[in-house]
Amino acid sequence: MSIVWAIIVGFFAGLIARWITPGDNKPSGFILTTVLGIVGSVLATWLGQQIGWFGPDDSANFIGAIVGAVIILLAWGQLARRT
């Protein structure tokens, strides 16, 4: 059930991140938005653990997942602009 929950949270985090960030290089599609949100959530969890905000068994909350997804989306925009 945790994988399904991660996909659901990742999808909504990706949608909100796509809505927040400016620019034309936004990924489209259900799968890419979900992957973006999941990667953002993993990034936020890893970064929070490295900084000391989360313990080893903790994960980022929904706001952290959105922040991570925004970071990934901004990086995506920079990479898509170069090609």
What would the pLDDT profile of 20-71 be if each residue is shown by its tens digit? 876 665 666 677 777 877 888 778 878 877 888 777 676 667 787 788 888 8
Contact 67, 44 (CB under 8 A): yes
| pLDDT exceeds 70 at position 19 | yes
Residue 10, judged by CB atoms within 10 A of its CB (0-12, 13-18, 19+), counts as: buried
How confident is the model at residue 82, as a pLDDT? Answer: 66
Q: Which residue has the tokens 């989306």?
A: 73
How confident is the model at residue 18, as a pLDDT? Answer: 81
Residue 74, judged by CB atoms within 10 A of its CB (0-12, 13-18, 19+), counts as: middle
pTM to 2 decimal places: 0.71
* Residue 19: φ, ψ to 5°: -75, -35
| pLDDT exceeds 70 at position 1 | no
Q: What's the mean pLDDT in 73-80? A: 78
Work out how many domains the chain is built from and give that number: 1
Range of the domain at 24: 2-82
